[in-house]
Structure 1
Amino acid sequence: MLTGFAVTGRNGDYPGLGWIVVTRQDAAVAFADATRLALTILGIGLLALPVTFLGAYWFARKIARPLVTLTRAAAQIGRDPDATNLPHQRGSLEVMQLSGSLRALLRRLGSVEAQFVRTAEQYQQDMEQLRQLADTDPLTGLLNRRSFLTVADAALNGSRTSDGLGILMADIDHFKSVNDVYGHPAGDAVIRSVAASIGATLRQHDRVARFGGEEFVVLLLNVDRAGMMALAERMRSAIGSSRVLFEGREIAVTVSFGAALAQPGDRDVDEVIERADFALYSAKNSGRNCVAVADRKANPRAA
């Protein structure tokens, strides 16, 4: 039971009666509206609870789980270079659209990566071709002077001792006459033929280069005087016994050789080449088509 009272007061010009009004009412009746409101709210909450659970389940199944799967798949792609695609995802329209967009992006990235790989491979091929062009003689395909000196200096400096390294200088005899009589294209054919003959007689670890004009240089490794002479003589004989065919005509070719072995005091391969060149000069003065060996550092031209 609830009891309440109120005192009447004046209102404007009305002085009031000064009464005390007392009222009593049953609590259930007094709080009936509030109770109904509370029960209504509780009922709505109870009804909303399964809806909330269903909504959470739908969100987890349609959105959260697919997003977690996509995230894990993307992380796997970042870790594993062999993983290149995302799995198909079912879920809400937005998740499926996101999955499709990511898959399209990965396909595009894969295409870009493949193009990048092809470009990189082509770049490597182009660089290799440029390196070959920079290191080789375009007429014969042999090493050029610059690349030969690099290889020869490395061989000289890389050995514990300079013994066993030899240089052959070779010069085509009467080459100017070949150009004068048969023309420069015939001279080019002679140079190519001599280059092929020298290359065919080389050992696997030896190197040959066109040093300039009609002159060639050969690097011999692990060789002594007798072996160097034998190799030079084999080259000279092979060239002299061959004939260069040019436009139906045969051109006889001979080559003079100068040979020199590296010595312990040599600072670089240029000193060995210089001695071989001096020996070549001696071979030319001895009638050509022969092999001469330089045994000392003395310049035979000064003799």
Structure 2
Amino acid sequence: MTGRHTWWERYGFARLRRWWHALAWPTRVGPRLAVAFLLVAALLPMIGLIAEREQRITGARDAQVDAQDLARVTAAEIGGGVQDRGRLDSAAARPYLDDLKRQTGGEVALVDLRRGSVTGTTPAGAAGLAADPDGQIAATLRDGLIRAVTRHGAGSEAKLMVVPIRTADDGIVGALVLDYSRLYEQVLATSAHSRRLTVAAGLTGMAVALGLGWAFSRGMVRDVRRLTQAATRYAEGDYDTRAEVKSRGELRELAEALNTMAGRIAQRRAELVDLATTDPLTGLPNRRALRAGMARELEHARRRGGPFSLILLDLDHFKAVNDEYGHIAGDLVLRQVGKILQSQVRATDLAGRHGGEEFAVLLPDTGRDAALCTAERVRAALSHTPIEFQGHAVQVTASLGVVTYPEHGLTSEELVRRADVALYAAKRAGRDRVHSPPTA
């Protein structure tokens, strides 16, 4: 017993509670909207059923009031003709009873004070109406109150109206019993169409509400998912992604706000990347960008089995320029060297400032001979282009070292080291020249 109780508490109750929470109030937007629309839609047929019930009750009340009025008028006419208290004249009363039956379609009976049926529209009907199993007729004969009685038979229900018959001096001489079941059914049948329309309108409203709710929630959930997916892709590094929704209103405004935010973040990121990879003085790619470019081009060369060359360039006697003309002139020289360097290389090449007065050029898909030609062209352009500064012509030359993958190295570090050695070999040989290590 203890084991069963523990199992139920540990597993059964916990699982039931989870199911209840999931069904009663889901955590996701789609199921929440579905439950909300279902509850709202369910109210419409409920309202229709309540309205139908109220119409039925009103119809029943109207039938009862009509029967009561007719029976009371008839009872007053019969009572007004009674001369001897306690005696009812059946022959005089019959025309009134027949007229009442034509109006209501139900049997009518007169009951005297001894609760014996005096007369009725038919003998069988009079006998049945005069029966008083629940004592309601006797009670009316005693207190003179009008009573509406419902008798249940074998598979049927009879609606009776019991009205006291009074003489001119307000004495009770009997009771009129009217079966107004047909009048009751006629009144309800008259309002049946209206009641059916009410219920149908409720059910139609429920179907329309469910359809609109489904369409609305489907579109809303789809757009929420699109917003979530766009935010996820952006968080994963896809900075070009943008949110697209079909809804109008707040969701579209949210999508536009997210897109605006993404655009601004992408712009700020581009600015930060530019600051991180660009030399602020010359505007050329800096050492970090050159390293990334070299790694990329080496990987490309390995995959395709093609060559890749690197040029390292160092200005000759640059310290003398700073000493003679000042650092402003030195900065101007570095900027002009950068422009000259870019003018002498291809658009596919990457020229950047390696640091200080040292520059580098990455030459994708370029062998040693072509790289030496490019380096010589750069050297010549520098040596033949004086740089003007405050009326002075500053002459600048450079020493260049050229290496090629895979002849001079297989890694970035090895290529940079060999190019640096070649550059200083050019300086030792007299500067203003190009040098490349011999191939193995």
Same fold (TM over 0.5): yes
Superimposed CA distance per residue, residues 21-64 of structure 1 (whole angstroms, 9 cap, x where no aligned partner): x9875441233863435334423421331221332455467775
Instruction: Work out the CA distance in 2 between the residues paired with 1:141 and 1:31.
Output: 114
Structure 1 residue 268, shift from structure 2 partner: 1.0
Q: Secondary structure of the equivalent of 1:188?
A: helix
Q: 1:50 to 1:286 in 2, by over 3 A?
A: same
1:173 and 1:289 in contact (8 A); partners too: yes
Alignment pair present for 1:31 and 2:156: no
Q: Secondary structure of the equivalent of 1:52?
A: helix
Alignment pair present for 1:280 and 2:423: yes
Gaps of 5+ in 1: 1-21, 86-106, 298-303
Q: 1:47 to 1:166 in 2, by over 3 A?
A: same
Superimposed CA distance per residue, residues 221-265 of structure 1 (whole angstroms, 9 cap, x where no aligned partner): 222332122101111111222232334443222111111223357
Could you tell me which residue of structure 1 aligns to residue 211 of structure 2? 68
Could you tell me which residue of structure 1 aligns to residue 188 of structure 2? 45
Could you tell me which residue of structure 1 aligns to residue 234 of structure 2? none
Could you tell me which residue of structure 2 aligns to residue 138 of structure 1? 280
- In structure 2, which of residues 227, 231, 247 is the aligned counterpart of residue 84 of structure 1? 247
Instruction: Work out the CA distance in 1 between the residues paired with 2:402 and 2:212.
Output: 75
Structure 1 residue 140, shift from structure 2 partner: 1.9
How many pairs are equivalent? 255
1:206 and 1:221 in contact (8 A); partners too: yes
Gaps of 5+ in 2: 1-113, 118-122, 131-148, 150-157, 160-178, 224-243
Could you tell me which residue of structure 2 aligns to residue 178 of structure 1? 321
What aligned pairs does 1:225-264 form with structure 2 within 5 A after superposition? 225-263=368-406
Could you tell me which residue of structure 2 aligns to residue 128 of structure 1? 270
TM-score normalised to structure 2 length? 0.52
Q: 1:167 to 1:23 in 2, by over 3 A?
A: closer
Which amino acid in 2 is paired with 1:158?
Answer: H
Instruction: Work out the CA distance in 2 between the residues paired with 1:82 and 1:163.
Output: 47
Q: 1:141 to 1:222 in 2, by over 3 A?
A: same
Structure 1 residue 76, shift from structure 2 partner: 4.2
Superimposed CA distance per residue, residues 160-206 of structure 1 (whole angstroms, 9 cap, x where no aligned partner): 48762221110111111111222212211111111111111112322
Which amino acid in 1 is paired with 2:246?
Answer: A
What aligned pairs does 1:53-64 form with structure 2 within 5 A after superposition? 53-56=196-199, 58-59=201-202
Q: Secondary structure of the equivalent of 1:294?
A: coil
Could you tell me which residue of structure 1 aligns to residue 107 of structure 2? none
Instruction: Work out the CA distance in 1 between the residues paired with 2:306 and 2:212.
Output: 70
Q: Secondary structure of the equivalent of 1:259?
A: strand
Q: Greater RCO between the two (CA within 8 Å, min separation 6)?
A: 1
- RMSD of the TM alignment (CA)? 3.0
Alignment pair present for 1:118 and 2:216: no
Could you tell me which residue of structure 2 aligns to residue 198 of structure 1? 341
Q: Secondary structure of the equivalent of 2:354?
A: strand
39-48 or 166-175: bigger deviation: 39-48
Instruction: Work out the CA distance in 2 between the residues paired with 1:248 and 1:55.
Output: 101
Q: 1:54 to 1:155 in 2, by over 3 A?
A: same
Instruction: Work out the CA distance in 2 between the residues paired with 1:60 and 1:192.
Output: 81
Q: Secondary structure of the equivalent of 2:348?
A: coil
TM-score normalised to structure 1 length? 0.73
Instruction: Work out the CA distance in 2 between the residues paired with 1:142 and 1:284.
Output: 24
Instruction: Work out the CA distance in 1 between the residues paired with 2:295 and 2:310.
Output: 12
Q: Secondary structure of the equivalent of 1:209?
A: strand
Identity %: 31
Instruction: Work out the CA distance in 2 between the residues paired with 1:238 and 1:217.
Output: 16
Instruction: Work out the CA distance in 2 between the residues paired with 1:27 and 1:185.
Output: 132
Structure 1 residue 158, shift from structure 2 partner: 3.3
Could you tell me which residue of structure 1 aligns to residue 297 of structure 2? 155
2:351 and 2:359 in contact (8 A); partners too: yes
Q: 1:286 to 1:27 in 2, by over 3 A?
A: same
2:245 and 2:252 in contact (8 A); partners too: no
Instruction: Work out the CA distance in 1 between the residues paired with 2:221 and 2:199.
Output: 31
Q: 1:201 to 1:173 in 2, by over 3 A?
A: same
Which amino acid in 2 is paired with 1:113?
Answer: A
Q: Secondary structure of the equivalent of 2:329?
A: helix
Q: Secondary structure of the equivalent of 1:192?
A: helix
Could you tell me which residue of structure 1 aligns to residue 239 of structure 2? none
Structure 1 residue 114, shift from structure 2 partner: 0.4
Q: 1:249 to 1:62 in 2, by over 3 A?
A: farther
Could you tell me which residue of structure 2 aligns to residue 271 of structure 1? 414
Alignment pair present for 1:219 and 2:362: yes
Q: Secondary structure of the equivalent of 1:153?
A: helix
Q: 1:182 to 1:37 in 2, by over 3 A?
A: farther
- In structure 2, which of residues 332, 340, 346 is the aligned counterpart of residue 189 of structure 1? 332
Could you tell me which residue of structure 1 aligns to residue 102 of structure 2? none
1:163 and 1:261 in contact (8 A); partners too: no
Which amino acid in 1 is paired with 2:398?
Answer: V
Q: Secondary structure of the equivalent of 1:261?
A: strand
Q: Secondary structure of the equivalent of 2:403?
A: strand
